[in-house]
Amino acid sequence: MRHYKAATQLLVISMFWPSLAGSILFAAQTGEVRPLEKRVTELLSKMTLEEKVGQMTQITLQAVSKTRGTATQKHEISVEKLRQALTSYHVGSILNVHDVALTLDEWHELITRIQDIATGETRLGVPVIYGIDAIHGANYVVEATLFPQSIALAAARNPELVRKSAEITALEVRAAGIPWNFNPVLGVGRNPLWPRLWETFGEDPYLISVLGEAYIKGLEGEDNDISAGDKVAGCMKHYLGYSLPLSGKDRTPAWIPERMLRDYFLPPFKRAVDAGVHTVMINSSEINGIPVHSDHYLLTQVLREELGFEGFVVSDWQDIERLHTRDRVAASPKEAVRMAVMAGVDMSMVPFDFSFYDHLLALTKEGSVPEARIDEAVARILRVKFALGLFEKPYPNRQLRSHVGSEESANLSLQAAREVMTLLKNDGNFLPLSRQQKVLVSGPTANLRSVLNGGWSYTWQGNEESLYPRDKKTILEAVAEKAGKENVTYFEGASFEEAVNIAEAVDAARSADVAIVCIGEDAYCETPGNIDDLTLPAAQLELVKAIQSTDTPVVLTLVQGRPRVITPVVADAKAILMAYLPGPEGGRAIADVLFGDFNPGGKLPITYPRAPNDLVNYDHKPVEMDDPNKLNPLFQFGHGLSYTQFEFSNLHLSSRRIKPNETLQATVEVANTGERAGDEVAHLFIQDEYGSVSRPVRQLVGFEKVRLAPGESTTVEFIIVPDQLAFHDRNMRFVVEPGTFKVFAGPGASDILEATFEVVVN
């Protein structure tokens, strides 16, 4: 009877979760169980249903707080609420802050209090896994190092820089006692209106895949040994298709055909799974009418069975409940829980109460959710907790604090900020500026630290100016340091939305040699960053036009998380510098570039539109190149100027004919023909000339950054692999079709060398 029961349980599991059934069957047949699996199995066998459901429950710190943290008020935990959560509801995970960053001492006190109760006052002593959104550094740790946001790092085209920033982030998050980071964002940023664009690595799947892998390896280590004291578990997000809302507004529907979903949006997540990432967070919205939190196809069939993901799945903020309250695909909150868990969600970010726990417990007891599914989810969660070493070391390692906010880390942040700077225009080599010039500095982003960082900076929105360290310079302060305070005049001119003192700024411009006008966006994050018009607000454009009318040369500095339309002021600007959200060292980096102490080498990771309704990406389809549909961006993907000159030559292919399963080597020579050292990025694109479905006119398949001295040259080598030639055909088969391919090499998506090769069947 015992063998029959076991076989029956395995059959039930295999019907819904074949990957788990396979691993159980393998262990049963071979008698081999990995030590970690043995620990998971043993602990799971001791747990009550209530304890298991508690492990799947995640609450926000606010749910167990006595007082909210603000710029002027210290956060306090409610020990009574915390004890109830951990001992009565067996909660397995806590996240977030309430509502401002904590010091290391405060984090140590908080995490210690949590783990004291979790490990000392519960029956089995299972530690809590604490999660945090450390998006551009450990941004909720007061003493930590912050970096440029992801959209900016993508402009640097430097995977090693991304990896190092993630290494520092991991160490500083761990130093606070937190082992789990909700990053990287692997959404493919195809809609520039979307307020989370700056959390992505841009619009190209390959670029995102490479940088996402680098970030994960920085967080988790090359071998993904997250038990290391300076590593954390990564969380790829937001799976899947979140970054293409039709309206451009956050958490609104996406309509993505299956072919597009697989060819554009899935590859970065596949690369992350192959890189060993331990957790995944789900898209808050819906694709083609199906909320992703309820989609068994995406969460189980694709993520688990196709991609082979073995970690655990966490919901996003309150999104399971929203299957009922907002999406209306579940007739009750209880049904919403059943749908999400059966679809494949392992942990619910509830986050304010214990409703998920109550509903899931009832569902399991009545048989609507098999306990085998609960065991599967809890086993996945326990694996990560064991892998992190939380059972051995649940408390913060106070010895790490000496490494937090180090000078070395700050220098890396400064280097990163310099490398992301993207020079979009430089008429007549107007830049760099002379230190002897009289300078007007104006614009709403000129004298604020918050705008250099954006959201996820000390607070969720990042707009609490008083929390930013005063030793980090604003653009105005950094310019004044370069040119001398006596040579610099400042008038704000306009706020983000309204004119302030434009007349005074214009008067000052008349007596200046150059006007540096700093425009862009205030700090924002997620839904509060929704906009109705991609055009930069009228007050800022009015300020620029007014200063341009004086005939004083104008240098525009763009501090923004997405490419706001600035077309009316581009023609009369002498130079335009795209700074993105460059982080706390951004002021210094901008001044370094403007005055020539650093030669810019950043490249756009997005297509910069000329008009609000001309939002086509660089890898568009051939029909979008036909008149009158011809793509006409303001600046192309990959665009970025330098203070020196580079030449590309001798594009060579290892073969002109290959089979569908063969690789191809491409080499190109890059030479610095100018008079100063500089960075250049060699991009390699392909074009499938004819396909069974229409193919993009360009697809990025490689990039490499090189630093060259004047007169120096180098040969850059790329390997094109079969998957880069493949796509989903009319029958949704992932294939490499025979035919002619073009290869393009150069600094960006235009002005490039060209060669051809043929894929042959025989």
Interacting residues of 507 by C-beta distance below 8 A, sequence separation 6+: none
- Cis amide linkage into residue 90, ω under 30° from 0: no
In 3D space, the residue among 57, 11, 53 whose CA is nearest the CA of residue 363 turns out to be 53
Residue-wise DSSP of 152-220: HHHHHT-HHHHHHHHHHHHHHHHHTT--EE---B------TT-TTGGGSS-S-HHHHHHHHHHHHHHHH
User: Hey, which residues does 280 pair with through a beta bridge?
Assistant: 236, 313
Contact of 206 with 700, CB cutoff 8 Å: yes
User: Hey, which residues does 90 pair with through a beta bridge?
Assistant: none
Write down the H helix ranges in 454-566: 475-483, 502-510, 538-548
Element (H, E) at 2: helix 2-16
In 3D space, the residue among 280, 141, 94, 256 whose CA is nearest the CA of residue 190 turns out to be 256
Contact of 667 with 720, CB cutoff 8 Å: no
Beta carbons within 10 angstroms of residue 162's beta carbon: 27
**Ramachandran sector of residue 10 (left: φ over 0; alpha: ψ -120 to 50; beta: rest):** alpha
Tokens at residue 24, please?
């159980």
CA angle 420/186/180 to nearest 5° reads 100
Q: Which amino acid would we find at residue 710?
A: P
CA angle 711/713/718 to nearest 5° reads 160
In 3D space, the residue among 541, 568, 570, 539 whose CA is nearest the CA of residue 555 turns out to be 570
Contact of 148 with 136, CB cutoff 8 Å: yes
Q: Which of 99, 250, 263, 316 is catalytic?
A: 316
First-to-final CA distance of the chain: 58
Q: Which amino acid would we find at residue 342?
A: M
Backbone angles phi, psi at 728, to 5 degrees: -90, 120
Element (H, E) at 30: helix 18-30
User: Hey, which residues does 685 pair with through a beta bridge?
Assistant: 700, 744
User: Hey, which residues does 517 pair with through a beta bridge?
Assistant: 442, 556
Tokens 């490990």, residue located: 119
Known active-site residue 679? no
Residues with active-site annotation: 316
